Structure 1
């Protein structure tokens, strides 16, 4: 017969077993709830990103509009080459103006306000193009859409970076470039099926989605904290992280950083060249310089003529080019937070160098009447290697890093400077491309290869890795190192 002590031990063992049976499903249920809550916490971040990148798609639609419509516009409005060239290139002038004003506007009326204003300019521009009966209204419309592009090019990646969690920031910010590529590609493809006026109307669709969506999503919490709207800051951060999320640590970190920034004077353009900000400026501007002067705008604006001059069917080449650009950019968005910014930049720049060399070699062979049948195929391979390599890294990462490396007190001025450099480079590259090709097709692509080779050295020596760090950690590290 069991003693009293033995009975107590048996009862305690049974209780522990029963508790374990009860606790096991409770733990499972709790973990499930945590997983579901974590997933739900990100819903507003995903929705806000989707709404914001409608501006990126609009950007791409504006950039891609002139290529498929060139023949139709020239025929309908009796445009000369010079008149259409002005129509095409005036986009970059509007974008430069937008870039200059984008930072101050985003700082003054907020990230959402800047996107709303940019959408309004794009809507006005598309309508002016749709109703155009001559060069003046067509050029005014193109200038207005360019201005909208310039603002979008800064404010969209900044907004996404400021609302994202650390583990999502790289991938979500890189969607900006993916949607630009998608906008360009959709314009290229549907432009072969729609009239130029109908294509202008199609450009209104993403603008409408963005304008409506901005009423649903919250403002950037970091901007709200910067301007001292404490209550709105907490509401916005909680909406982005979920009602059951603990935002105290993140809110405290953001507010502590803002208190540090309050002690600093309001920055202007000349302040960017102070030692404390200089490395950020060198990285941000340097990446944009290599991105544009490495041949991007010339190749994208004149893809059809490159294929034609090589003897390859331009329509087939352009469609392949467009599809590949979107697919590889999508791949890049999945890799950026896994592989890191710096390795992707190095792989991308190396591939771009190879693509330029292949394309240049094909024009050399054609010019010297060597391997006449193989030269057109080599051009296609070279251009596809170029755009594929560019899209996986150089196309995405400069925008991502621009949104990460600048402290918020100089982000307006620094963002404006960076995007101005980007659009100035786009104008120089697109304007000089035909002159360079007339001088030497082979020499043009070897020149681009040399620029991108310098980019590899720049990335190795200067560019930091920002993967896995908060914005505050990145900015503190880069500006004190």
Structure 2
């Protein structure tokens, strides 16, 4: 009996000490902060095209189709980044992939800043898109791999919070500074990230995967604190890596086998639902939507930006309490309602019904929009995400030319299907380690 009590006390002590010397995993927080500077860069890239549209078109004498290409080519670059993101992150590590992404974004912003015509502008936008595509994969993977189970939800949600914050800041800054100055502002998060990478450890799970056992243990110890007992967590990671090593390495077509099919379906399905719901069209061209609805674009941009930060912050604070699946359902339902309201607003305008209500309805619809596997599978899912983003952002202006309200009714229908997909297919992940989650999905 005494021995059982002693073991229980030891287990409790492990739980209390697991994380860091004083119960606060400061290195996990610091490493997350450095990594999500990549997420901020992501948001800066996506938010750039909306507030500068009129200024760039005027300064460089661009046509609407030329500017649509400039806005959407970002996501084409991100598709290229998505194809290479998994192999790069597996080959040179998560930190190496983030360094490469930063370099691509820095080069892209400088080209945009010095652009005198559409071609340099597009090349710069393509380069920032490539960096974005890699960031979109490697940042959440890195954060998930360094975080303890009880913090993983909140810390990975910081990725979305930083994207929303950066996009919102771009909307706000774009109303007061020139488009060239806004391009230079995109260099700041990259500089912070590159500097911070010198002080944070590499992902312990990646180090374990490539067989660098001493580095793996040192990294995990640094993340959890020098006095933390990491034996149980290290053993769980090692056991999972050993199990993976015993499995055949899947080729591209083999990813569609039954054992991997559910993971792939969830990953690709969520990406398709997210992008075809219209969010990138909204983010890229929110200024022009407000103008079309007769709502002051400067006021709309700032209000939209502030609400995105608030909504994403609330989501980040609730994710571990409410769970990811309920928040996905709330987000999908909100998108459906938002698109429907905006569609009704434009329907009224086109048919000259309740014209005095159109600006308010359109603004209401837009302002409640939330911003919402690894290796080859991760690349496929990320590629799907960015292909959808490119298709949405490129076709948005053309769809609006076809029908203002029809565009948003289409988006509303897609978002309604998203809610159904989440209910039927997507599992809850709260409270599970990465290894437990993968085991439950692929069993």
Counterpart Cα distance in 2 of 1:428 and 1:46:
36
Map of 2:6 onto structure 1: none
Map of 2:201 onto structure 1: 218
Q: Contact 1:48–1:217 at 8 Å: present in 2 too?
A: yes
Question: Are 1:234 and 2:197 matched, yes or no?
Answer: no
Question: Are 1:57 and 2:40 matched, yes or no?
Answer: yes
Shift of 1:214: 0.5
Map of 2:230 onto structure 1: 247
Structure 2 residue aligned with 1:470, among 412, 418, 433?
A: 433
Shift of 1:434: 2.2
Please state whether the residue corresponding to 1:469 is helix, strand or coil: coil
Map of 2:410 onto structure 1: 447
Counterpart Cα distance in 1 of 2:366 and 2:56:
27
Counterpart Cα distance in 1 of 2:121 and 2:402:
32
Q: Would the alpha carbon gap of residues 305 and 162 (structure 1) be closer, same or farther in structure 2, given more than 3 Å must change?
A: same
CA-to-aligned-CA distance 1:297-343 (integer Å, 9 cap, x gap): 11111211211111111111111111101110011011111100111
Map of 2:76 onto structure 1: 93
CA-to-aligned-CA distance 1:280-301 (integer Å, 9 cap, x gap): 0111110111101011111111
Shift of 1:455: 1.1
Q: Contact 2:34–2:197 at 8 Å: present in 1 too?
A: yes
Question: Are 1:304 and 2:287 matched, yes or no?
Answer: yes
Counterpart Cα distance in 2 of 1:196 and 1:305:
16
Please state whether the residue corresponding to 1:51 is helix, strand or coil: helix
Shift of 1:436: 2.1
Please state whether the residue corresponding to 2:59 is helix, strand or coil: helix
Shift of 1:35: 10
Counterpart Cα distance in 1 of 2:54 and 2:359:
24
**Residues 14-413 of structure 1 mapped to structure 2, 5 A cutoff:** 37=20, 39=22, 41-385=24-368, 387=369, 390-391=370-371, 395=372, 406=373, 411-413=374-376
CA-to-aligned-CA distance 1:422-460 (integer Å, 9 cap, x gap): 111011111222222222222221211111111111111
Question: Are 1:428 and 2:412 matched, yes or no?
Answer: no
Q: Contact 2:46–2:283 at 8 Å: present in 1 too?
A: no
Map of 1:403 onto structure 2: none
Counterpart Cα distance in 2 of 1:226 and 1:312:
53
Give the TM-score, by structure 2 length.
0.94
CA-to-aligned-CA distance 1:160-212 (integer Å, 9 cap, x gap): 00000111101100111111111111111112222222211111111010001
Shift of 1:40: 5.1
Give the TM-score, by structure 1 length.
0.86
Counterpart Cα distance in 2 of 1:48 and 1:292:
29
Shift of 1:132: 2.2
Map of 1:398 onto structure 2: none
Q: Contact 2:153–2:320 at 8 Å: present in 1 too?
A: yes
The number of aligned residues is 430
Counterpart Cα distance in 1 of 2:365 and 2:121:
35
Structure 1 residue aligned with 2:382, among 408, 416, 419?
A: 419
Counterpart Cα distance in 2 of 1:384 and 1:133:
34
Counterpart Cα distance in 2 of 1:218 and 1:35:
18
Counterpart Cα distance in 1 of 2:20 and 2:64:
58
Q: Would the alpha carbon gap of residues 302 and 39 (structure 1) be closer, same or farther in structure 2, given more than 3 Å must change?
A: farther
Counterpart Cα distance in 2 of 1:94 and 1:316:
31
Counterpart Cα distance in 2 of 1:369 and 1:135:
37
**Segment drifting more, 62-71 vs 316-325:** 62-71
Counterpart Cα distance in 2 of 1:194 and 1:243:
46
Counterpart Cα distance in 1 of 2:351 and 2:66:
35
Q: Would the alpha carbon gap of residues 34 and 251 (structure 1) be closer, same or farther in structure 2, given more than 3 Å must change?
A: closer
Q: Contact 1:293–1:426 at 8 Å: present in 2 too?
A: yes
Shift of 1:369: 2.1
**Segment drifting more, 433-442 vs 332-341:** 433-442
Q: Contact 1:41–1:240 at 8 Å: present in 2 too?
A: no
Q: Contact 1:41–1:245 at 8 Å: present in 2 too?
A: no
CA-to-aligned-CA distance 1:27-76 (integer Å, 9 cap, x gap): xxx99x96995655510000000000000111111111122222222333
Structure with the larger RCO, 1 or 2 (CA within 8 Å, 6+ apart): 2
**Segment drifting more, 110-119 vs 85-94:** 85-94
Q: Contact 1:49–1:172 at 8 Å: present in 2 too?
A: yes
Give every structure 1 segment of 4 or more consecutive aligned residues whose post-TM-superposition deviation is greater than 4 Å: 33-41
